[in-house]
């Protein structure tokens, strides 16, 4: 299984809602990443989890809350988002933080905040 699975594929939420994005991989990768991508722009790194611990937070607002319950699963909890947070959210994984040679991306969650 060489996939990173993201759910849901599409999400529409109001500014007062709480929702979660899910990312799963079963390749034994120990580094997992959240990226945000606005239309026609390159992805921007949000968070890096290394061996289930948060190792990098790229100054992301607290309305985005990541969680890594186990080595296969990565969540992104969303609360009180703003319309400008509408974007494609991509999850990725690699064997380890220092080894991005095998880098796998999920198909993303297209998020719309109304």
Partner 1 sequence: KNEVEQSPQNLTAQEGEFITINCSYSVGISALHWLQQHPGGGIVSLFMLSSGKKKHGRLIATINIQEKHSSLHITASHPRDSAVYICAVMNYGGSQGNLIFGKGTKLSVKP
Q: Kindly state whether residue 100 participates in binding partner 1, applying the rule CB under 8 A.
A: yes
- Per-residue tokens: 66: 């990541």
Q: Kindly state whether residue 98 participates in binding partner 1, applying the rule CB under 8 A.
A: yes
Q: How far is the CB of 75 from partner 1 (least distance, A)?
A: 17
Q: How far is the CB of 73 from partner 1 (least distance, A)?
A: 17
Q: Kindly state whether residue 102 participates in binding partner 1, applying the rule CB under 8 A.
A: yes
Q: Kindly state whether residue 104 participates in binding partner 1, applying the rule CB under 8 A.
A: yes
Query: Please, which residue, 15 or 56, has the CB nearer to partner 1?
Result: 56
Q: Kindly state whether residue 110 participates in binding partner 1, applying the rule CB under 8 A.
A: yes
Q: Kindly state whether residue 106 participates in binding partner 1, applying the rule CB under 8 A.
A: yes
């Amino acid at each position: 299984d060489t996939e990173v699975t993201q759910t849901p594929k599409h999400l529409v939420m109001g500014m007062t809602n709480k929702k979660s994005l899910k990312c799963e991989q079963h390749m034994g990768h120990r580094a997992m990443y959240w990226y945000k991508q606005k239309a026609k722009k390159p992805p921007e790194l949000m968070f890096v989890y290394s061996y289930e611990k948060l190792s990098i937070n790229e100054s992301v607002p607290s309305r985005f809350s990541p969680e890594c319950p186990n080595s296969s699963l990565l969540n992104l909890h969303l609360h009180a988002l703003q319309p400008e947070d509408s974007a494609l959210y991509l999850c990725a994984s690699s064997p380890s933080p220092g080894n991005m040679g095998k880098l796998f991306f999920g198909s993303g969650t297209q998020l719309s905040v109304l």
